[in-house]
Amino acid sequence: MRFNYNLSTWKKDQLERGGDFGYDVLRLNVEAAYKNILLNAEYRHYAPGFGGGFLKQGWFGYKLSDNSQIQVGLQQVPFGIQQYNSNNFFFNITYYIGFEDDHDMGVKYLHKGKQWHWQVAYYKNAEEFVFGLAEASPNRYSYDIIGRNKENNQVDLKVVRLLGDSQHHEMGASLQGGLLYNLDTRENGTRYAGALHYEYEVENSPWSIKLQAMFYRINPKYAVEEDLSFVEMGAYGAGYNVATEGEVYTASLGYLLPVKSRLLESVLIYNNYGYYNKRVRGFENAHMNVVGALWTAGPMYIYTDAAFGYNQPWLGPEWENALAAGTPGDTDWHLRFNINMGYYF
């Protein structure tokens, strides 16, 4: 269970109240194994204004060997740094355009060698609730294309080279390609993406580094008169527009400070930055930077974050077009101070 406090500089009424403190999420995780058959599921229940209840992940698996397995169902897409391309409560800007901790419906093969890890996956579609021509619901955990388009028939390939003995000192490359079905024209457009990453997180060092560069392009099959420069994406019960072409560069630095006290066990201090270069003429670029700390006390985790956004829908007053055209000539940095506390049992 988690609770959340936030104070946003662009919300005058919230500043007058000194912020808001309320319910965040109640989640249930289930893991099971019978012989070589695996089960992994996570259900989350947010407030109605944030999408209510939905499945974050849920898959069946089969362990082929100690180094390989197959997963079928709603599972994490193998793209970029996993599990998270960030350290903070807000993730990085890659999450908000569907390229961090994304989960889709399909089948994935994972193999871990001594120095090479690789994953290959096929996703029939994103989370599907209606099985027809209706628009996809934004009530979901990870950002997907919604509105008059539906993601389908996606293929992913990710290869990682370990640098030393640590499982998290690595360089990797990811490729993604898929189709995009338009409900009006009943034609498929295309979409593709690629990423290179480096991650350093080893047991004998307090420092951690995450670096990633990626690109993507979406070619929707709209009707002739429609604007091809953006698509609608949604999660947590609401949607917004995202540019159909861009590059994202992210950098995260963390320092783990061990603490010997009655309650605290450790403090992870971090800074996570993301730059979103929209490859659409007239669109203003976006930035996101989060500086903060994760406080660990047994089963309790507390994030304290100062999250700065420039054309970031969750960190500023512009929601619908912050990740599309932005607000050229009228954009500024905004701050959201956030404390999220969770008890895991």
The CA–CA distances, whole Å, from 320 to 119, 191, 211, 285 equal: 34, 22, 28, 15
Rounded Cα gap, residues 316 and 6, in angstroms: 13
CA angle 230, 323, 180 (to 5 degrees): 35
Residue of 76, 27, 32, 31 whose CA lies nearest to 54: 27
User: Per-residue pLDDT averaged across 225-241, rounded?
Assistant: 95
Residue 250: the pLDDT is 98
Residue 11: the pLDDT is 97
Rounded Cα gap, residues 286 and 93, in angstroms: 9
Summarised one tens digit per residue, pLDDT across range 101-155 is 999 999 999 999 999 999 999 999 999 887 888 899 999 999 999 999 999 999 9
Q: Which of 129-133, 318-322, 326-330 has the highest mean pLDDT?
A: 318-322
Query: Can you say whether residue 171 is alpha, beta or left, with left for phi > 0 and alpha for psi between -120 and 50 degrees?
Result: beta
User: Per-residue pLDDT averaged across 309-313, rounded?
Assistant: 98
Helix locations, 76-223, DSSP H: none
With a cut of 90, say whether residue 332 has pLDDT above it: yes
Question: What is the pLDDT confidence band of residue 203, given thresholds at 50, 70 and 90?
Answer: confident
Rounded Cα gap, residues 195 and 213, in angstroms: 6
Residue 260: the pLDDT is 84
The CA–CA distances, whole Å, from 179 to 17, 23, 221, 293 equal: 47, 37, 10, 39
Element (H, E) at 239: strand 238-243
Summarised one tens digit per residue, pLDDT across range 76-90 is 999 999 999 999 999
What is the arrangement of strands in the sheet containing 238-243, beginning at the earlier edge strand?
A: 144-145, 230-235, 238-243
Rounded Cα gap, residues 248 and 321, in angstroms: 17
Rounded Cα gap, residues 295 and 301, in angstroms: 6
User: Per-residue pLDDT averaged across 46-57, rounded?
Assistant: 94
Residue 330: the pLDDT is 83
Residue 13: the pLDDT is 97
User: Per-residue pLDDT averaged across 319-334, rounded?
Assistant: 93
- Terminal-residue alpha carbon distance, the chain: 9
Question: What is the pLDDT confidence band of residue 230, given thresholds at 50, 70 and 90?
Answer: very high
CB-based contacts of 14, cutoff 8 Å, min separation 6: 6, 7, 8, 20
With a cut of 90, say whether residue 196 has pLDDT above it: yes
CB-based contacts of 254, cutoff 8 Å, min separation 6: 87, 207, 208, 209, 268, 269, 270, 271
CB 338 within 8 A of CB 5: yes
What's the chain's Rg over C-alpha atoms?
20
Rounded Cα gap, residues 81 and 99, in angstroms: 10
The answer to which of 171-180, 253-262, 301-310, 312-321 has the lowest mean pLDDT is 253-262
With a cut of 90, say whether residue 165 has pLDDT above it: no
Strand partners, 169: 200
With a cut of 90, say whether residue 204 has pLDDT above it: no
The CA–CA distances, whole Å, from 319 to 28, 118, 234, 246, 316 equal: 30, 37, 12, 19, 7
Question: What is the pLDDT confidence band of residue 272, given thresholds at 50, 70 and 90?
Answer: very high
User: Per-residue pLDDT averaged across 18-27, rounded?
Assistant: 97
Domains in the chain with CATH codes? 2-343 (2.40.160.10)
The encoded tokens of residue 219 equal 């070619």
Residue of 266, 307, 270 whose CA lies nearest to 288: 307
